[in-house]
Amino acid sequence: MKPYYLTSSLPYTNAYPHIGFALEIIQADVLARWHRQKGEDVFFLTGTDEHGSKIAKAAADAGVSPQEFTDKIASRFQELTKVLTISNDDFIRTTDQERHWPAVREVWDRLYKNEDLEKRTYTGLYCAGCEAFITEKELVNGQCHIHKKEPERIQEENWFFKLSKYAPKLKEKIEKNELRIIPESRKNEILQVIHQELQDISFSRPKEKLQWGIPVSGDDSSVIYVWADALTNYISALGYPNGENFKKYWPANVQVVGKDIVRFHALIWPAMLLSLGVELPKTLFVHGFITVDGQKMSKTIGNVVDPFERVTKYGADAVRYFLLREIPSMEDGDFSYEKFETRYNADLAGGLGNLVARVLTLATKISNFQFLISNQFSNPNFQKLTDETKQKVENALDEFQFSEALVAIWEVIHACDKYIDEKKPWAESPEQKQVIGDLLLVIGELAQFLAPFLPETSEKIAKQLAEGKGENLFPRVGALQVGNFS
């Protein structure tokens, strides 16, 4: 089978997971499931980024060791993958001294041997929120454009990675789409950064200022900086440099990241790989942020959305559906509890759920249920519709347009509802059984279309078709009344 390697970014373990990272791993999961459905050999990686000063501070504030702190947070992220039915094949932790650390040290040693690491005294700006050194050009009104805080001015002796050396090669790879950055706006953003002149970047921090991290080989005074450590996870999990999985799956087909870390993944990471003589990832897919009622999520404001609470109340597939359908794939999108409930009632309870219940109820009323299901549509329009929908979904997912794929699938649901209203299959007629048989066949196709997006629902529909028992897929909430079954 054709190998397909897919990664999410690694969320930083200074806080529990929120709805923003849920969006990312759900998007990645759809891609993983879809490529498995196409018969490819998928390896899907996620995990946690667990070193750095922010985590050390958060642990100290909590009165526990950094390891205890990250163990607790990382376990919550692992739990999130389970409650959202994420089909990841592996979960890498950057505190894993057996799997991750050896690869980080190997990468460091090779960068050093290639003369791409150099110790220098640095005076400049450091954003604690980004765990990154930034330049004056990156400031907006004197503040970090992401965290809206004034950076700290520091002087340190650090190891620097010669990022500037790789600027021409990075520009060439990105312009030729050898490293494809989606959407185009993010590609243009990165090319603009290169045009403004890339600066070499610190790859270490003094041990006296940062103890929570991987020590630099041969330099007891320094600790490997967060990004030099964390980015290596994508190959450490595969057993770089000689592991069978590394030989089999690298380069990554797609790496899914948020827009706040696109520069690290589109510049630093590929420059590291160029130095190592390792192939670059094929595609970097960049999603936006989720606001809540138009505001940025913030613990201070108290508007952080807990994905666990949403799943407990509505189920995993309802959360998956809302984020995939309502949030634009590549731009910022807004969450509100009202929008969530409206989308749930209209599309899931009143749309998909109502259709399945309606057809299965009719089928069991008039005949032996299984007798009605055939392998071929009696109405050629349905065959045309399902063939066209399959192609629309393929085209949309090829371009990471998750919402458009779901719109195409829901067009089938609307077509079925219209067909039922026209044919009135609850009334006896010569074509009654054929009409219901076609509808059952369409529902089987819907289950296949939905499998990457709503895996639990897809399985439930398939089970109901096999057993001839219709159960409520999405119990309605609030005041909306779903349609009658006859």
Q: What percent of the chain has pLDDT over 70?
A: 97
What's the CA gap between 7 and 46, in Å, rounded? 6
Quick check: is 397 in a domain? Answer: yes
Global pTM reads 0.92
More confident of the two residues 259 and 140: 259
State the DSSP H helix or E strand holding residue 42, giving kind and residue range, or none if neither: strand 41-48
Among 35-39, 141-145, 222-226, name the one with the lowest average pLDDT.
141-145
pLDDT at residue 370 in the model? 63
- Residue 253 counted as domain residue: no
pLDDT at 399: 97
The pLDDT of residue 88 is 98
pLDDT value at 480 more than 50: no
Percent over 90 (pLDDT), the chain: 80
Q: How far, in Å, CA of 28 to CA of 39, rounded?
A: 17
- With b for 16 or more beta-carbon neighbours within 10 A and e for fewer, the 104-141 pattern comes to bbbbbebbeeeebbeeeebebbbbeebbbbbeeebeee
Closest-CA residue to 454 (of 432, 473, 428)? 473
The mean pLDDT of 45-62, rounded to a whole number, is 94
434 within a domain of the structure (yes/no): yes
- How confident is the model at residue 368, as a pLDDT? 65
Give the up-direction half-sphere exposure of residue 265: CA atoms within 13 A in the CB hemisphere.
Answer: 29
Averaged over 438-466, what is the pLDDT? 96
pLDDT bucket at 369, cuts 50 / 70 / 90: low
What confidence category does residue 290 fall into, taking pLDDT thresholds of 50, 70 and 90?
Answer: very high
- Give the whole-angstrom CA distance, residue 28 versus residue 335: 20
Sequence-distant (6+) residues with CB within 8 A of 265 are 9, 231, 255, 257, 284
- Domain with 369, as residue range(s), is 346-467
Has residue 438 been placed in a domain? yes
Reported confidence tier of residue 486, pLDDT bands at 50, 70, 90: very low
Q: What is the mean pLDDT of residues 110-121?
A: 96
Residue 458 lies inside a defined structural domain of this protein: yes
As a whole number, mean pLDDT of residues 73-87 equals 98
Name the domain count of the chain: 1
Domain for residue 475, yes or no? Answer: no
Q: Alpha-carbon distance 333 to 350, whole Å?
A: 24
pLDDT of 297: 81
Token digits of residue 105: 């040290």
Residue 83 tokens read as 């409650």
Work out the average pLDDT over 411-440.
94
140: Cβ–Cβ under 8 A, 6 or more apart, which residues? none
Q: Give the torsion through C-alpha atoms of 88, 93, 98, 100, to 10 deg.
A: 90
For the domain that residue 375 is a member of, what is the CATH number?
1.10.730.10
What pLDDT is attached to residue 420?
A: 96
pLDDT in the model for residue 239: 98
Q: Over range 277-306, report the average pLDDT.
A: 91
CB 14 within 8 A of CB 54: yes
